[in-house]
Amino acid sequence: MNIQAPTRPGTTSAAAAAIERELIELFVHVADLVGLPRSVGELYGCLFIASSPLTMDDLMRRLGLSKGATSQGLRLLRSVGAVRTVYVPGDRRDHFAAERELRPLVAGFLREKVLARLRNSAERLEAVRAVLREVDPAERAVLDDRVRRLARWHQNARQVLPLLLKVIEP
């Protein structure tokens, strides 16, 4: 990762720059853990450590990302509530700041990513059940057991996640 120093000269020591690189790398690992692109972790990490809101151009320059990757990453981060747009008087460009509280981050991720996937998985389970009816009865018993088990997991997740969201949302 080639993170550039902030645009304000003299504000970052070598030690502070090293800490910034390490924290951004930490968020890259977290993004990877939850199946998000590296650039999303870099963007969030850079905004998390920044002392003031940054523009898209600032982020592109500091992280060496393309305009497309930066724009797409910011859109995803905004959709889950991890990043917000901040008004800066006298500047027409959008400035971005990271949400630094864990609860809204987790809630946004669960709401926008996990619940959306659960809706999709319900349709897929129904499609599997339809095909299962066509399977030879000798093979069907094991497959039917697995599909029923997955359906229970799915039902449990659909019941637990909304309750979890109520607990963790601010």
Domain boundaries, position 108: 102-168
Helix (H), strand (E) at residue 4: none
Beta bridge partners, 97, equal 84
- As a three-state string, the secondary structure of 81-125 is CCEEEECCCCCCCCEEEECCCHHHHHHHHHHHHHHHHHHHHHHHH
Indicate the DSSP class of residue 33. H
70 and 116 assigned to the same domain = no
Domain count, the chain: 2
- Dist CA 150 CA 160 (whole Å): 15
Kindly report the CATH number assigned to the domain that includes residue 85: 1.10.10.10
Q: Round to the nearest angstrom and report the end-to-end CA distance of the chain.
A: 34
* Of 53, 74, 98, the domain-final residue: 98
**Domain-located, residue 131:** yes
Task: Using pLDDT thresholds of 50, 70 and 90, give the confidence band for residue 27.
Answer: very high
**Domain-located, residue 132:** yes
Q: Which amino acid is at 82?
A: A
pLDDT in tens, 118-131: 878 888 888 888 89
**Domain-located, residue 109:** yes
Q: Is the dihedral of CA 126, 79, 43, 33 positive or negative?
A: negative
Task: Using pLDDT thresholds of 50, 70 and 90, give the confidence band for residue 12.
Answer: low
Task: Using pLDDT thresholds of 50, 70 and 90, give the confidence band for residue 9.
Answer: very low
**Domain-located, residue 7:** no
Give the predicted TM-score (pTM) of the model: 0.70
**Domain-located, residue 6:** no
pLDDT in tens, 113-167: 787 788 788 888 888 888 988 888 888 888 888 988 988 988 888 888 888 877 8
The top-scoring range by mean pLDDT among 6-10, 91-95, 133-137, 163-167 is 91-95
Closest CA to 105 of 45, 160, 153, 61: 45
